[in-house]
Amino acid sequence: MEEDEFIDYLEEFRCKKYFCAIKVGGECLDNFFEDSILRLYNIGLIPLVLHGGGKQIDDALEKEKISVKKLDGKRYTDKKLC
Of 53, 43, 2, nearest to 23 by C-alpha is 53
- Is the pLDDT reported for residue 24 higher than 50? yes
Q: Contact at 8 Å (CB) between 1 and 28?
A: no
- Is the pLDDT reported for residue 82 higher than 70? no
Domain ranges (residues) in the chain: 3-81
What pLDDT score does 1 carry? 56
More confident residue, 34 or 12: 34
d(CA 70, CA 48): 27
Please write the tens of the pLDDT for every residue from 29-77: 667 788 888 888 887 788 888 877 787 888 888 898 888 888 877 788 8
User: Burial, 20: exposed, middle or buried (Cβ in 10 Å; 0-12, 13-18, 19+)?
Assistant: middle
pTM here is 0.44
